[in-house]
């Protein structure tokens, strides 16, 4: 139907009368379309707000552990950049989620990826001998009773909230923040000689990987060293779970 025929139909309809006279239909359609666009935009904004609130309003079950309380994240900061090439394919599998969690939390993408790399290599069902669970190896007492620790979103909210608090407690010292994430925030003010050997190793691996990831290079010597010290088996396990192995 050509444009003139369409106009003729509208004109005939206006002569017949009805609920919506033909000549009023185009302006009415503009209003309806405008309202729909506004509702859709509002829905997107509300969804983003709810996701951000899930990071801001993290409530922590009471516990007597030395790891401190999980606090809300300060969303005043905004992360920039893209995920570095140095990370293994299993971590890059989560690149879209890492970007989203980075935007919501204000934490650098490469810092988030560094923790995921060492903690689980991207295995959402990883469990440590100490009982830490999921992508960011969060201890059970950080979750509410009705939460699924292996849900990636829940695990990220809990883990990254604690990482954010550790970074704040260390006054932005990334190496100390990594140590606090592993050994508990209270160790940040202690001499490194008093850190557990595991925490010393963790700070070594994480700070080196993160530093090289921040240099826009394609390979990390520290990451390759970590893989050679047992990280490869962790990554193979992750690849199995997320379906990257044939």
Q: Is the pLDDT of residue 133 over 50?
A: yes
Encode pLDDT of 58-74 as tens digits.
Answer: 434 333 333 322 233 33
Q: Are 113 and 220 within 8 A, CB to CB?
A: no
pLDDT at 42: 45
pLDDT at 193: 92
Read out DSSP for 78-123?
A: ---S---TTS-HHHHTTHHHHHHHHHHH---HHHHHHHHHHHTTT-
**How many other CB atoms sit within 10 Å of the CB of residue 196?**
13
Distance CA 227, CA 68 (A): 30
Q: Kindly report, as residue ranges, where domains of CATH 1.10.530.10 are found in the chain.
A: 74-242
Which of 10-24, 29-43, 181-195, 213-227 is least confident? Answer: 10-24
Distance CA 241, CA 81 (A): 28
Alpha helices in 170-215 (DSSP H): 174-183, 197-213
Report the percent of the chain where pLDDT is more than 70.
67
Burial of 57 (0-12, 13-18, 19+ CB in 10 A): exposed
Distance CA 10, CA 21 (A): 8
Report the percent of the chain where pLDDT is more than 90.
65
Encode pLDDT of 177-219 as tens digits.
Answer: 999 999 999 999 999 999 999 999 999 999 999 999 999 899 9
CATH code 3.90.245.10 for 74-242: no
Q: Which of 97, 119, 153, 168 is catalytic?
A: 119
Q: Is the pLDDT of residue 116 over 60?
A: yes
pLDDT at 15: 34
Q: Is the pLDDT of residue 150 over 70?
A: yes
Q: Of the spans 4-13, 55-64, 88-97, which averages the highest pLDDT?
A: 88-97
- Output phi, psi for 17, to 5 deg: 85, -155
Token pair listed for 43? 């829905």
Distance CA 163, CA 115 (A): 9
Encode pLDDT of 157-180 as tens digits.
Answer: 999 999 999 999 999 999 999 999
Query: What average pLDDT does the chain have?
Result: 77
- Concerning whether 53 is annotated as a catalytic residue, the answer is no
pLDDT at 173: 97
């Amino acid at each position: 139907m050509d444009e003139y025929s369409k106009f003729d139909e509208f004109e005939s309809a206006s002569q017949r009368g009805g609920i919506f006279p033909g000549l009023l239909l185009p302006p009415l359609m503009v209003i309806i379309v405008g309202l729909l666009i506004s509702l859709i935009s509002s829905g997107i904004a509300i969804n983003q707000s709810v996701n951000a609130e899930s990071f801001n309003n993290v409530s922590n079950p009471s516990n007597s552990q030395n790891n401190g309380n999980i606090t809300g994240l300060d969303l005043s900061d905004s992360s920039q950049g893209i995920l570095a090439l140095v990370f293994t394919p299993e971590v890059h599998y989560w690149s879209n989620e890492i970007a989203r969690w980075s935007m919501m939390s204000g934490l650098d993408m490469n810092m988030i990826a560094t923790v995921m790399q060492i903690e689980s290599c991207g295995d959402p069902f990883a469990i440590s001998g100490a009982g830490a669970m999921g992508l960011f190896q969060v201890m059970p007492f950080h979750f509410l009773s009705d939460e699924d620790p292996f849900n990636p979103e829940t695990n990220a909210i809990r883990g990254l909230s604690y990482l954010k608090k550790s970074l704040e407690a260390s006054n932005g010292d990334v190496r100390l923040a990594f140590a606090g994430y592993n050994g508990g925030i209270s160790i940040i003010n202690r001499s490194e000689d008093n850190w557990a050997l595991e925490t010393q190793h963790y700070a070594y691996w994480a700070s080196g990987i993160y530093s090289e990831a921040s240099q826009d290079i394609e390979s990390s010597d520290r990451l390759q060293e970590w893989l050679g010290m047992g990280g490869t088996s962790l990554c193979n396990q992750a690849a199995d779970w997320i379906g990257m192995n044939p």
